Amino acid sequence: MKSGTVFKRTIAALLFTVLVISSFTACGSSSNNNRNPKNDTRLDDDMRRSLDSLKRIDSSGMLYEMDVTFDYYSDAMQKIVAEENYINHDHGCTSFMTHNENNDVITCRNFDTNHRAKNEKDAAGIFIIYHCHPVGKYKSISIGDAKYFGEEGGMRHPGALDDGKSDVSNVLYGIFDTLDGMNEKGLTVSTLSSDLSEDEYCYNVFKHGCETCVIGTILRYMLDECATVDEAVQLAHKYNVMPYTGSKKLDHIFVSDASGDSKVIEWRYDEIRVADTDIATNFYQTWNDSAPHKVKTSIKYENDSQLSKTYMNYQYGYGHGYERFNIVASTLQQYAEFDINNNYKTHLTNELARNLLSLVAQQMTPEMTSMTQYSVIYNSSTLSADIWLYRDYLTKYNVAVKK
C-alpha cells in the first residue's frame, strides 16, 4: 500500500475520532434549560430555576449535574424535606484515603447497591452531581441517587432526567440525601451501610433535645458547615440518626480532610463512637464484639477475618465487607512510609488508586445483591473529582467545586 494512502486513512481516522469526541462533549455540556416537567406545586421560582440547570454529563443519560443556587435552608424547602419519605437505602460501598503522586490527599470511593427492580434486567441508576452554593456556608459538590427520591423505585432509566416528559421535581430531594461529596475546604464525606445483629434495633439511638435525621442529611450539614474531620465529629454529636424507611441497617460515615486526617463515625447501642481509620466498608470499627458473628455474605467470621499485621490498629466488628477491606488495607500497607516523627502515611498514584477501586468493585452477577454503580476519587487539593460509571474505568468524568 502506498504511503500517501496510509497517511490519508490515518488523517480520516483522526478526524472521525475528533468528531466523536466533540459530539460527546457537546452532549455533556448543553447550556439549554432542562425542559422536563416540574409538577410539584410546592416549588417556588428559585427552586425551578435550579431544576432548569439540570443537564446531562455523559452520553447515555446516567450522570447529570445541577447548580443549586436557591436557599435550601428556607422554610419552603425545609417543609418539603420534612414531608418527604426517603426510601430504604441498602448499599455496600468501600471508601479509603491516601495521597497521590503530587502528595495531594485523595479520598476514593465505590458506591455499591442493587438497582434492579422487580422483573427488570436493568440494574443501573441515574446519579446527580449537586453544585451547592449555600449563603454563609461552604460550597461543595455532592452525589445523589435518583433511585431514592420519592416513590418506590425512583428514576432508574437512562435519559429520564432530560427526556422532556419525566417529572424532575424530586431531584431536589437529593440535596439532603447525600451519598458522598467534598466541600471547598477539602472535607469529604461518604456513607456506607452497617449491619445490625439480630438483637439490635434501628431506633435505639436517641438523645433528647437533638434533631433527628437520616445519615444523608447529616452529610449535607457536614459539607455545608465543617472544614475538618474534628468539626464533622463535633457536628455528628448534635444529631440523632434514624434509619431510612424500611431499613434494618444503620449507616456509618467515613470522613476525611485536606490535612490527611480521616475517621469513621458510628452509632450503635445508644452511643456515637469515632475511630481513626483510613478505610471503611460495611462492618463496625468502633466495637469489637465479644462473640463472633457469621457474615451474611461469607463463611468467614469476623474474628478470623482480621489482618494479623498492619500499621494501623484496625478494629473488626459486626457486619460484612471484610474481604474488600483487607484488599485495600494490604495494598495501602505496601505503599506506606513513615516520617522522622514516625507518622504513618500512604501514597498511591491516581492510576493505582483507580485500579484499587476496580479491584474491590462488585460485579453484576445473576445472584447479585449489590454492584458498583460508580467510583469516584475526590482530590482535596485541587477540589475536583474523577468519576467512573458502572466499572467502566476507561471513561472518566471530571467535576470540581465551583469558585
The 10s digit of each residue's pLDDT in 65-119 is 999 999 999 999 998 888 776 555 666 799 999 999 999 999 999 999 876 554 4
pLDDT > 90: percent of the chain? 51
pLDDT at residue 251, rounded to an integer: 83
Considering only residues 220 and 403, tell me which one the structure prediction assigns the higher pLDDT: 220
pLDDT: is 154 or 80 the higher one? 80
Give residue 303's pLDDT.
47
> Residue 283: its pLDDT value, please?
86
Could you tell me the CA-to-CA distances from 385 to 54, 105, 375, 381 in Å, in that order?
Answer: 19, 12, 10, 11
Cα–Cα dist 331/362, whole Å? 18
Region 344-350 average pLDDT: 94
Judged by average pLDDT, the poorest of 32-36, 50-54, 325-329 is 32-36
Task: Give the CA distances from residue 167 to residues 148, 154, 388, in Å, rounded to whole numbers and listed in that order.
Answer: 15, 11, 26
Mean pLDDT across 17-46: 64
Q: How far apart are CA 106 and CA 334, in angstroms?
A: 17
Phi–psi pair at 94, nearest 5 degrees: -140, 135
Least confident segment among 157-161, 190-194, 241-245, 375-379:
241-245
- pLDDT, residue 23, reads 34
Backbone φ and ψ of 355, nearest 5°: -65, -35
**11's grid cell:** 488523517
**In the numeric block, which cell numbers belong to residue 171?**
431531584
SS (H, E, C) the chain: CCHHHHHHHHHHHHHHHHHHHHHHHHHHCCCCCCCCCCCCCCCCHHHHHHHHCCEECCCCCCEEEEEECCCCCCHHHHHHHHHCCCECCCECCEEEEEECCCCCEEEEEEEEECCCCCCCCCCCCCEEEEEECCCCCCCEEEEEEHHHCCCCCCCCCCCHHHCCCCCCHHHHHHHHCCCEEEECCCCEEEEECCECCCCCCHHHCCCCCCEEECHHHHHHHHHHHCCCHHHHHHHHCCEEECCCECCCECCEEEEECCCCCEEEEEEECCEEEEEECCEECEECCCCCCCCCCECCCCCCEHHHHCCCCCCCCCCCCCEECHHHHHHHHHHHHHCEEECCCCCEEEECCHHHHHHHHHHCCCCCCCCCCCEEEEEEEEECCCCEEEEEECCCCCCCEEEECCC
Q: Is the pLDDT of residue 306 over 70?
A: no
The residue extents of the domains of the chain are 41-400
Q: What is the mean pLDDT of residues 210-231?
A: 92
Which sign does the torsion angle of CA 18, 19, 22, 24 carry? negative
Interatomic CA distance for residues 279 and 95, integer angstroms: 6
Cell matching residue 200: 439490635
Read off the pTM.
0.86
Strands 63-68 and 336-338: unpaired
Across 183-210, average pLDDT: 76
| Most confident residue range from 28-37, 200-209, 246-255, 392-401 | 392-401
Higher pLDDT: 201 or 257? It is: 257
Q: Mean per-residue pLDDT for 348-366?
A: 90
* Whether residue 32 has pLDDT greater than 70: no
The pLDDT, as a whole number, for residue 344 is: 82
For residues 48 and 124, which has the higher predicted lDDT (pLDDT)?
Answer: 48
> Are 104 and 169 spatial neighbours (Cβ–Cβ below 8 Å)?
no
Q: How far apart are CA 390 and CA 363, in angstroms?
A: 9
- The residues facing 143 across adjacent strands are 129, 180
Q: What is the mean pLDDT of residues 350-359?
A: 97
pLDDT at 298 over 70: no
36-40 average pLDDT score: 93
> What is the rounded average pLDDT of the residues 226-254?
83
Distance in angstroms (rounded) separating the CA atoms of residues 128 and 39:
19
Residue 295: per-residue pLDDT: 43
Residue 154 has pLDDT above 60, yes or no: no
Q: What is the mean pLDDT of the chain?
A: 81
Average pLDDT over residues 300-323: 70
Are residues 362 and 92 in contact, defined by beta-carbon separation less than 8 angstroms? yes
Average pLDDT on 51-59 reads 96
pLDDT for 124 = 63
Residue 205 has what pLDDT?
A: 53
Instruction: Give 254-297 pLDDT, tens digit per residue.
Output: 999 999 999 999 987 777 889 999 999 988 888 765 434 444 44
Q: Tell me the CATH architecture of domain 41-400.
A: 4-Layer Sandwich (3.60)
Least confident of 21-25, 146-150, 215-219, 393-397: 21-25
pLDDT number for residue 82? 81
Distance CA 289, CA 174 (A): 35
| Residue 16 main-chain phi, psi, to 5 deg | -60, -45
Identify the pLDDT of residue 208.
61
Alpha-carbon span 312 to 285, nearest angstrom: 12
